[in-house]
Amino acid sequence: MSPRPAPDLDLRREQITRTARDLAESEGWETVTMRRLAAELGMTQPVLYSAFTGGRQALVDAVAVDGFTALADALEAVDRDLPARMRAYLDFAMHRPRVYEAMFSLPSGLRFADGETPPPLRRAFAAIQDVVERRDETTAEVAWATLHGLATLERGGRLRPSQGEARLERAHGLLTT
């Protein structure tokens, strides 16, 4: 009356999350199907569901949460001033576009702006709030919105590709004068 030993679910979740992130980053989220992912990992589909009860959505959410941690790390790693962190933010969005997509554009099961907000997400926002004038929360929200808008519109090809640097300087100027 003793069961088969349980697999290390945390380790498995980590492997699956990393593979999903890598696959999304190289071929796009639309190719990250449960079948493809299982094949890539040498598993069968039901194993994925035993690691992520919430199915594909939970998987995308896991990549997003890891992404918020990575973004917070990237912001905290640079100088504690606005231009450095603005640049770090846009660099992150440009170099990990699919992770950024999971964090902000794809349908999400995560909770925001209430008590359930994941801590990594709060950390990332705090890293911005720390460097805006008077650490004002409203200003931080506007700064974040500007960065997010620049990142997504740029990524979507909606802005003149060659003018990224000029936009960053202009945005920084507006936020500090």
Residue window 137-166: x/- pattern of binding to a second copy, with contact defined by CB under 8 A: xxx-xx-xxxxxxx-xx--xxxxxx-x--x
Establish if 135 lies at the interface with a second copy (CB under 8 A).
no
Using N-to-C axis directions, what is the helix angle for 55-77 and 82-95, rounded to 10°? 140
Contact segment (CB under 7 A) with DNA among 16-24, 48-56, 66-74, 131-139 equals: 48-56
Q: Closest Cα to residue 74, out of 47, 102, 94, 53?
A: 94
Helices (H), the chain: 9-27, 34-41, 45-51, 55-77, 82-95, 97-104, 119-129, 137-155, 164-176
Q: How many CA atoms lie within 13 A of 85 on its CB side?
A: 24
Establish if 2 lies at the interface with a second copy (CB under 8 A).
no
Establish if 19 lies at the interface with a second copy (CB under 8 A).
no
Is residue 137 within 8 Å of 91, Cβ to Cβ? Answer: no
Residue 142 binds what, of DNA, a second copy, none (CB under 5 to 8 Å, by partner type)? a second copy
Cα dihedral 68→74→79→84 (10° resolution): -80
Contact segment (CB under 8 A) with a second copy among 17-25, 36-44, 53-61, 105-113 equals: 105-113
Min separation Cβ 129 and a second copy, Å: 12
Query: Which residues in this chain contact a second copy in the complex, by CB under 8 A?
Result: 30, 104-105, 107-108, 111-113, 137-139, 141-142, 144-150, 152-153, 156-161, 163, 166-167, 170-171, 174-175, 177
Query: Which residues in this chain contact DNA in the complex, by CB under 7 A?
Result: 1-7, 32-36, 43-47, 49-50, 55-57
